[in-house]
């Protein structure tokens, strides 16, 4: 039976983490890096950084696996994904605990993340074969259709904030399409990625079809430069630009899911109780460390004071603490650097006239905590509006009307998601059209869903993930036209229909 690395079951009141197998704490010939528990600042384990030679060996192994994996019927590949979903559910508690230890996500959200991964595997296992069926097109040919064929080995560079989900939402569509996958995970959360590798293995996936390569930026560069057909990245705008430039050297396709500074707009006719609850859920998921978290709040003047009061009331109920405690609502930020960045953004806002309604300080405990923070009197010259705020800070801007709110929301280099709260549903489609983003949610918070495409515009990315649209980013969309070539063509036609 597959053994998973982390054991965090306490023998006393103290929580511990003990590696059962690799990575080892013993010295190695490799360069190494440590994974730090952000709730305590303690080192969890040390991992070797893969060399360029090791990266290329994994890609070559994936190419070998592609030869057989791509020849399977989509229905057969789907069976492996359905088994993978079962494995995820079986190990849900262990996988969730690993995520929480590595990057500080509260345990309830970690459990939900594993469940969502299983849902995506089920969804593409059940629907992927239909998505890949050829589209018949009427032309002047005897028969013409659009086929969807795999592209080969796909390389992916993934972040730490959703350490299993972001890998799965890329890998599962790629695999059902017949590709093989090599993923370089974030150095903050390598074990969560390695657990996925073991889960695919336990599900019976052929050796080499899904592989993890652990390392740092040099590892990522080696993966991009290796003979992969497509490069996928979820990360910052700066990293995305560097990856795109590197991939362009060999004219490789890129799929980029980058930063977001999603607006949360409250109209004068909004249900303020629902909007305030949605604001808390949308801003503080994963401690605010989400590309699609609500990050800029625009509220029409006539309801701004009441909304701010309700928002503050809901925020004060949030409990900051040990992320392994099921009653905790806010855990630590992933690192000291991230905590200090958020603190700097808040100090900048206060120095320029913003008012702290709730929070505003570091947490008084070990680890990289920052209090859930609500800011009012926010203006455009403050960093919390100009930059992506990747932490538990909610800046609120009062605006004269809904048109101004939409104009201010669109005044950003980002265009990932947007949330708008109004009871005028007759205008919902028109309002959604006006917002410059890849996703719009009316009276709901922005979220990913295997059934719907995920991605942004402007500096928020290139391409889409999830749904049939995301799957088609990972295939060769091939035009096929067949014309009669001999007197027996009609017989051939009958056989192919």
The catalytic site residues sit at 257, 291
The residue among 304, 405, 401, 406 whose CA lies nearest residue 355 is 304
**What pairs with residue 297 in β-bridges?**
264, 396
| 225 close to 248: Cβ distance less than 8 angstroms | no
Q: Regarding beta strands 262-266 and 417-421, do their DSSP bridges make them parallel or antiparallel, or are they unpaired?
A: parallel
Contacts of 96 (CB under 8 A, 6+ apart): 107, 110, 111, 113, 114
The residue among 390, 446, 380, 394 whose CA lies nearest residue 415 is 446
Report the alpha-carbon distance of residue 366 to residue 40 in Å, rounded: 5
Report the alpha-carbon distance of residue 106 to residue 96 in Å, rounded: 9
Cβ count within 10 A of residue 481: 12
The residue among 199, 166, 77, 68 whose CA lies nearest residue 128 is 77
Greatest CA span in the chain, whole angstroms? 85
Report the alpha-carbon distance of residue 84 to residue 261 in Å, rounded: 34
Cβ count within 10 A of residue 491: 9
């Amino acid at each position: 039976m597959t053994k998973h690395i982390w054991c965090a079951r306490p023998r006393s009141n103290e929580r511990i983490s003990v590696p059962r197998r690799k990575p080892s704490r013993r010295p190695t010939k490799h360069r190494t890096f440590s994974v730090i528990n952000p709730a305590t600042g303690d080192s969890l384990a040390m991992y070797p950084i893969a060399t360029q030679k090791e990266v290329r060996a994994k890609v070559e192994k994936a190419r070998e696996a592609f030869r057989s994996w791509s020849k399977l019927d989509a229905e057969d590949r789907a069976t492996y994904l359905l088994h993978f979903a079962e494995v995820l559910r079986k190990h849900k508690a262990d996988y969730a605990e690993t995520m929480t230890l590595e990057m500080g996500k509260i345990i309830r959200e970690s459990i939900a993340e594993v469940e969502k991964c299983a849902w995506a595997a089920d969804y593409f296992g059940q629907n992927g074969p239909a998505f890949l069926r050829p589209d018949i097109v009427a032309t002047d040919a005897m028969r013409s259709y659009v086929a969807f064929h795999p592209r080969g080995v796909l390389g992916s560079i993934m972040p730490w904030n959703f350490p299993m989900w972001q890998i799965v939402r890329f890998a599962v569509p790629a695999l059902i399409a017949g590709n093989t996958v090599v993923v370089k995970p974030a150095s903050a959360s390598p074990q969560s990625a390695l657990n996925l590798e073991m889960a695919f293995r336990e599900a019976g996936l052929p050796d080499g079809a899904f592989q993890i390569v652990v390392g740092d930026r040099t590892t990522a560069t080696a993966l991009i430069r290796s003979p992969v057909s497509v490069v996928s990245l979820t990360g910052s705008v700066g990293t995305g630009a560097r990856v795109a430039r590197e991939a362009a050297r060999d004219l490789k396709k890129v799929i980029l899911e980058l930063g977001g500074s999603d607006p949360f707009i409250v109209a004068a006719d909004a249900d303020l109780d629902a909007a305030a609850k949605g604001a808390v859920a949308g801003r503080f998921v994963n401690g605010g460390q989400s590309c699609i978290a609500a990050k800029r709040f625009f509220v029409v003047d006539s309801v701004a004071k009441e909304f701010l009061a309700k928002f503050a009331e809901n925020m004060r109920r949030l409990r900051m603490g040990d992320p392994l405690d099921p009653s905790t609502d806010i855990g630590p930020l992933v690192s000291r650097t991230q905590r200090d960045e958020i603190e700097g953004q808040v100090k900048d806002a206060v120095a320029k006239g913003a008012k702290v309604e709730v929070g505003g300080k570091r947490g008084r405990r070990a680890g990289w905590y920052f209090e859930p923070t609500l800011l009012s009197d926010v203006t455009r010259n403050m960093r919390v509006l100009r930059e992506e705020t990747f932490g538990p800070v909610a800046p609120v801007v009062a605006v004269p009307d809904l048109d101004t709110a939409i104009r201010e929301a669109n005044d950003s280099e980002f265009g990932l998601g947007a949330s708008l709260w109004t009871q005028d549903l007759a205008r919902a489609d028109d309002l959604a059209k006006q917002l410059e983003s890849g996703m719009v949610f009316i009276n709901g918070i922005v979220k990913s869903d295997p059934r719907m495409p995920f991605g942004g515009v402007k500096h928020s990315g290139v391409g889409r993930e999830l749904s049939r649209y995301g799957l088609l980013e990972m295939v060769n969309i091939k035009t096929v036209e067949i014309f009669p070539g001999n007197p027996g063509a009609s017989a051939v036609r009958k056989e192919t229909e």
